[in-house]
């Protein structure tokens, strides 16, 4: 589904990714871990099409199409979704209005109320301004609600566990697990093994120095938790 080949990228002239390779197939859950500044969030933003990052070489293919040749909205329509590490607040636009507009833009329909109930989100929440005044946990649940509504083929969760208490993490993980199937895929970016107790990865990768340095199964995350990245 996703093929990344020798990807190099920079921001403001500073190289961040330095020959990254990654392959994700249908039905797979991949987790990327690594030290601060390794390029984890950079990778997520590049896949989503953030304009601040410049790809200097390499290729990214998604569902057989050249992802780097697409605008962000084209990537979303093709089935790519990014759950932001720091979701933006938008005054004057309610959650419900945002969801309805986004669903229309990608040509899909969804049960907004039903999906919110699954994530233990009240209907009142839907009529609040998008992320305005939300707690960290509420913002992250809102991101997963978007994922539930949009039903992407590839969902990228960029440190979704940051700022979550154990109850919120359980609810978020329940929502993510309910969406997994043999036709979609998931890329989890995280610092901590604890999220992977709830969302079981098939592969764990260590990103360091701008490239994937190690790959293993779920046991690699436990090793990293115990011994660090050295």
Going from N- to C-terminal start, the domains of the chain cover 2-227
Structure token pair of residue 227:
């011994």
pLDDT at site 230: 67
| pTM (2 d.p.) | 0.92
Q: Express as a percent the part of the chain with pLDDT over 70.
A: 100
- 117 CB neighbour count, 10 Å cutoff: 12
pLDDT in tens, 84-113: 878 889 999 999 999 999 999 988 999 999
Closest CA to 161 of 191, 203, 135: 191
3-state secondary structure 125-184: HHCCEECCCCCHHHHHHHHHHHHHHHCCCEEEEECCCCCCCHHHHHHHHHHHHHHCCCCC
pLDDT at site 183: 94
pLDDT at residue 127 tops 80: yes
pLDDT at site 160: 81
pLDDT in tens, 7-53: 999 999 999 999 999 999 999 999 999 888 888 999 999 999 999 99
pLDDT at residue 163 tops 80: no
Enter the CATH code of domain 2-227.
3.40.50.300
What's the order of all strands across the beta sheet hosting 203-208? Answer: 80-83, 154-158, 185-189, 29-33, 203-208, 211-216
């Amino acid at each position: 589904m996703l093929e990344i080949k020798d990807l190099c990228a920079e921001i403001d002239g500073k190289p961040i990714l330095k020959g990254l390779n990654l392959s994700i197939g249908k039905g797979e859950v991949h987790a990327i871990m690594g030290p601060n500044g390794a390029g984890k969030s950079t990778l997520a933003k590049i896949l989503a099409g953030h304009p601040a990052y410049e790809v200097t070489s390499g290729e990214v293919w998604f569902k057989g199409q050249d992802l780097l040749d697409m605008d962000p909205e084209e990537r979303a329509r093709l089935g790519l979704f990014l759950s932001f590490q720091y979701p933006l607040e938008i005054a004057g636009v309610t959650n419900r209005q945002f969801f309805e507009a986004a669903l229309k833009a990608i040509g899909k329909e969804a049960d907004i109320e039903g999906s919110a109930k699954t994530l233990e989100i009240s209907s009142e929440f839907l009529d609040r301004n998008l992320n305005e005044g939300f707690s960290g946990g509420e913002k992250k649940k809102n991101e997963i609600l978007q994922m539930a509504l949009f039903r992407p083929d590839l969902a990228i969760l960029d440190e979704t566990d940051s700022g979550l208490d154990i109850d919120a993490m359980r609810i978020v993980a329940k929502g993510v697990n309910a969406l997994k199937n043999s036709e979609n895929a998931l890329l989890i970016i995280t610092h901590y093994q604890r999220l992977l107790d709830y969302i079981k990865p098939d592969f764990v990768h260590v990103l360091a120095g701008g490239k994937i340095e190690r790959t293993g199964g779920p046991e690699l995350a436990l090793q990293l938790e115990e011994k660090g990245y050295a």
